[in-house]
Amino acid sequence: MKPHQLVLLAASCCSVLLASVAMAMQASPPKEASPIYGVTLPDGYRQWQLIAPAQEGAPLNELRAVLGNRTAIKAYQSGAQPFPDGTVLVKLAWKHEQSPEFESASIPGDATTVQVMVKDAKKYASTGGWGYGRFVRGKPADEAQHKTCFACHEARAKARDYVFTRYAP
């Protein structure tokens, strides 16, 4: 191989490498973490198993579904509490919308929030072992909103390891 061929080869390798790096950066933009807790949206949560749906009346008027990672599902199935470290629960919420096909049915409209609870008994010792994240279109809500998470879970669900959602059979 002649010198100018080597240069061409090196240049072509470099551009392939740079293109790969650019694609990788595009595929996984840096995730924004919630204030106070540093919780991010977990990878692939939309594929997680359903724990239960729910409906929220006025003024929010939402349909919701809580999904859990494998650790969460195992904990629900065994009934063991508190939930072990590594448990992650994700609540998806959508506007409650009239079905176009059925007068009596309501279906998900626009997505509103995605809310995350992550169990880490040491890291989140001061908030019952749970870290919280509330996201709107992938962006975390502000610190003021995150200050309300633990207060409400503590007031209403402390006896159930701060978790509202029961597994739907």
- Cβ-based neighbours of 151, under 8 Å, separated by 6 or more: none
User: 91 and 64 in contact (C-beta within 8 Å)?
Assistant: yes
**Site mask, its own copies, residues 97-136, x = CB under 8 A?**
--x-xx-xxxxx--x-------------------------
Position among 53, 139, 143, 147 found at the interface with its own copies (CB under 8 A): 53
Position among 31, 46, 139, 147 found at the interface with its own copies (CB under 8 A): 46
Q: Does 33 interact with its own copies (rule: CB under 8 A)?
A: no
CB of 39 to its own copies, least distance (A): 21
User: 125 and 95 in contact (C-beta within 8 Å)?
Assistant: no
Nearest residue (CB) to its own copies, 23 versus 50: 50
- What's the length of the chain? 169
Of 154, 99, 95, residue with least CA distance to 124: 154
Residue 39 CB-density burial (10 A; 0-12 exposed, 13-18 middle, 19+ buried):
buried
Site size toward its own copies (CB under 8 A) is 35
Q: Which is it for strands 88-98 and 62-68: parallel, antiparallel or unpaired?
A: antiparallel
CB of 83 to its own copies, least distance (A): 17
Nearest residue (CB) to its own copies, 147 versus 156: 156
Report the SS3 class of residue 71: helix
Catalog residues that contact its own copies under the rule CB under 8 A: 46-47, 49-50, 52-58, 60, 63-65, 67, 92, 94, 96, 99, 101-102, 104-108, 111, 156-157, 164-166, 168-169
